[in-house]
Amino acid sequence: MPRKRRILVDLDAIGADIYAEWLGRFNARFGTSMVIEDVTQWDIGKCVPDPEHPEQRTYMYAILEQEGFYRSLRPLPGFIEGVNELHEDGNEIIIATATQVPIAAKEKMEWVFEHLPFIGRKNIYIGYSKNVLVADGLIDDGPHNVEAYRSEHPRALIASVQYPFNDAGRAHCDLYVEGGYKDMAATWKKFVEFFRNNR
């Protein structure tokens, strides 16, 4: 019997619609109209409309520490169905998500319990460096994550989705869905197909 494959699945911007709520709260505070296309680099603090403003950058990161922030995030279209299909295909799914904020760690666990009850509570890793986990595949939008994972695990299958901020990760991915952030339901179909076609 072939070995069960292990696939690491990121949460933010892969499974949870973090930018809608994040930018929404920021815009509500400052009366701005930031959209995802304004987030052109990983460090979102450098993308605020007025970098000289005394509070915009710090507030952007403070949102991540607001109680209820993560719990309020909606699952991205196609995510629950896609993870369920990969799970049904016999893959071992590990939710691998980073945070450095205690309240977010708690709420991320609760979020997974609510939205992915079939995953199991033992299959959630909250940490920072995903490359310390050994797996056959990774689904992630973070350019630093895909680069580090490729470097340590040259044979892993790495799938990602284009966002305005992650061009630097492109070269390290086996699948990088162009324009995929605009249609995550279609992107998730491509992720599932990719792992089915590469066994």
Q: Which residues bind Mg ion (CB under 5 A)?
A: 10, 12-13, 141
In the complex, least distance from residue 198 CB atom to Mg ion, rounded to whole angstroms: 21
**With respect to Mg ion, which residue has the nearer C-beta, 17 or 183?**
17
**With respect to Mg ion, which residue has the nearer C-beta, 13 or 95?**
13
Nearest-angstrom CA–CA distance, 176 and 172: 9
In the complex, least distance from residue 12 CB atom to Mg ion, rounded to whole angstroms: 4
In the complex, least distance from residue 159 CB atom to Mg ion, rounded to whole angstroms: 12
Contact 147, 167 (CB under 8 A): no
**With respect to Mg ion, which residue has the nearer C-beta, 12 or 136?**
12
**With respect to Mg ion, which residue has the nearer C-beta, 30 or 161?**
161
Nearest-angstrom CA–CA distance, 182 and 23: 16
Nearest-angstrom CA–CA distance, 60 and 100: 15
In the complex, least distance from residue 53 CB atom to Mg ion, rounded to whole angstroms: 26
Contact 135, 94 (CB under 8 A): yes
**With respect to Mg ion, which residue has the nearer C-beta, 10 or 107?**
10
Residue closest to 77 by CA, chosen among 196, 188, 198, 185: 185
Contact 117, 32 (CB under 8 A): no
In the complex, least distance from residue 147 CB atom to Mg ion, rounded to whole angstroms: 14
The answer for residues whose C-beta is within 8 angstroms of residue 198's C-beta and 6 or more apart is 157, 174
Where would I find the H helices in 52-119?
56-62, 79-88, 102-115
In the complex, least distance from residue 181 CB atom to Mg ion, rounded to whole angstroms: 11
Q: Closest residue (Cβ) to Mg ion? A: 12
**With respect to Mg ion, which residue has the nearer C-beta, 29 or 115?**
115
- The HSE-up count of residue 37 (CA atoms within 13 Å, CB side) is 3
Nearest-angstrom CA–CA distance, 159 and 168: 14
